[in-house]
Amino acid sequence: MTGLTGFEWDDGNATKNWERHRVTQAEAEEVVFNRPIFLMDATPGNREVMYNVLGRTNGDRLLSVSTAVEIGV
């Protein structure tokens, strides 16, 4: 995820994390940018790579975040 500068939240995910888990978009992004541990799951032939990330928010919450990154974007 080198070069990542931010996230693009689609309408389907914009509020889902808050409603289901009480995690804000900002917290999910903090986990990725605050020295996380990345676990990558790449399936050959897919157009995206799924990242499972373990890390802490600025408020010291330990969270697991899953995010997809399109290949070639």
pLDDT tens-digit readout, 11-57: 877 788 899 999 998 999 899 888 878 776 766 667 777 788 899 99
More confidently predicted of 5 and 26: 26
- pLDDT tens string 43-56: 666 777 778 889 99
- C-alpha 50/C-alpha 57 separation (Å) is 20
* CB atoms near residue 62 (< 10 Å): 9
pTM over 0.95: no
Specify the pLDDT at position 72.
Answer: 66
Of 61, 25, 44, 63, the closest CA to residue 52 belongs to: 63
